[in-house]
A = this chain, B = another copy of it.
Amino acid sequence: MQHITYETLNKSEEIFRALADRTRIRIIRLLLHSSDACVSELMDALRLPQYSISRHLSILRHAGLVDERREGIWKYYYLVAKPPGFTEHLMEAIRSGINEKLLETDLDLFARRLGLRVDGKCVVGSEGL
């Protein structure tokens, strides 16, 4: 993905390509469990470097699956709310996806990391949980 210099990559095709990566699926699964998450929180939950999280979020954003909101120094990413249809079915698929222990660990770490919020806001950078 990254930069879509592809010919005429239509929307659904771009979305399928955005989903064809384990890290991005892991990110989406986390976002399905929280109203939002900032980059540091995803770093801790997935144990991946900052540039990796940022890059994958950028791809998901270009595909229209997530959006962002800046709050001071932090950026919160969240799943774009869609009317029932194409994207909703995909999210349903991911929700009912085959369970992996990797993803279970992700959710555990994510929950712990979200526990560090104060008043629902992210207040610390990556802790390397």
Contact = CB atoms under 8 A, between A and B. Distances in A.
Contacts of A19: 16, 19-20
Contacts of A17: 20
Contact of A25 (B16, B90, B96): B16
Interface residues of A, number: 22
A118 interface: no
A16 to B, nearest CB: 5
A85 B94 CA distance: 10
A97 B12 contact: yes
Interface in A32-60: none
A89 B93 CA distance: 5
A119 interface: no
Interface string A79-104: 00000011101101100111010000
A16 B25 CA distance: 9
B90 A86 contact: no
